[in-house]
Amino acid sequence: MKAIIRWVAVCCLAGFTSVATAERLEVFRWQANSSSPEALVQGMMTAAKIHEKYGATVGIFRMDIGSSGYPTFDYVLRWDSGEDWAKTKQTNTNEEWQAFWAQASQTPSGTLLWSMEALNWDDSVKAADFAQDGPYRVYVWQPNAGKAAAVYASFTQAAKMHTAMGAKVNIYQEGVGGNGKVHYVMSFEDWADMADFGDKVMASEEFRFLQAAAAGAATPIGSIQGEPLYYTGR
């Protein structure tokens, strides 16, 4: 990975970065207001077309495991740079968005649970690179005090191992809306590939050694599993 370890260390401590060329995302987690989420998904699809018009790459993901209550979705915006992000943000209050929110507020179909921004550790990744991804898992970790370098070393090594076993790995650092946690994301072509990957991890003595060596570097916070419903260009 091309990310600079000094940058990662600062991010782990401060939860914010201004690196201009890293793939940047914003996640908005929505929960449907009923057991039938069709209206919420339809609203997300309408919003996606507006965001795409103004330069964002959009993904809509349905959570499968890790949520509770009514169906839950992640609405994800991606950009290839801070400059691209700023161009989209400048349109947030234009007439088109005002009309969208005025209509959506009349019959709310979902509740926003939380939102945050994050930056990819790998500055070679582009927003379009996720268009063909299938089901995914996200593991969230809180780096422990003074362990930024250890987290970087162990997570990048784990990513190499997991990639060799068939996963597509991306690692994100929380920015605004977060508190410096690391999101370790693995995606697969389909559910069968995810199952095959799990078997390989369970059988990997090398990975167990890495886990033992990295013990104490970060605290696990939670995990989710899901699948994409929509992605720009898919």
Residue 22: what pLDDT?
A: 77
**pLDDT tens sequence across 111-141:** 999 999 999 999 999 999 999 999 999 999 9
Spatial CB neighbours of 73, under 8 Å, sequence gap ≥ 6: 29, 30, 31, 32, 37, 40, 41, 44, 60, 61, 62, 63, 110, 229
Q: Report the alpha-carbon distance of residue 13 to residue 25 in Å, rounded.
A: 20
Give the list of residues 6+ apart from residue 119 with CB closer than 8 angstroms, or none. 11, 17, 19, 22, 23, 24, 25, 172, 173, 175
- Long-range CB pairs of 3-8 (<8 Å, 24+ gap) are 3/120, 3/121, 3/122, 3/123, 5/149, 5/152, 8/121, 8/148, 8/151, 8/152, 8/173
Average pLDDT rounded to a whole number, residues 13-42: 80
Ordered structural domains, the chain, with CATH: 5-231 (3.30.70.100)
Q: What is the mean pLDDT of residues 71-75?
A: 97
Cβ-based burial of 75 (10 A; exposed 0-12, middle 13-18, buried ≥19): buried
Q: In which band, very low, low, confident or very high, does the pLDDT at 15 lie, cut at 50, 70 and 90?
A: very low
The answer to whether residue 5 scores a pLDDT higher than 70 is: no
Would you state the pLDDT for residue 69?
A: 87
**For residue 49, what pLDDT band results from cuts at 50, 70 and 90?**
very high
Task: Evaluate if residue 36 carries a pLDDT over 80.
Answer: yes
pTM: 0.90
Task: Indicate if the pLDDT at residue 17 is higher than 90.
Answer: no
Mean of per-residue pLDDT scores for the chain: 91
- Mean pLDDT value of segment 208-228: 97
pLDDT score of 68: 85
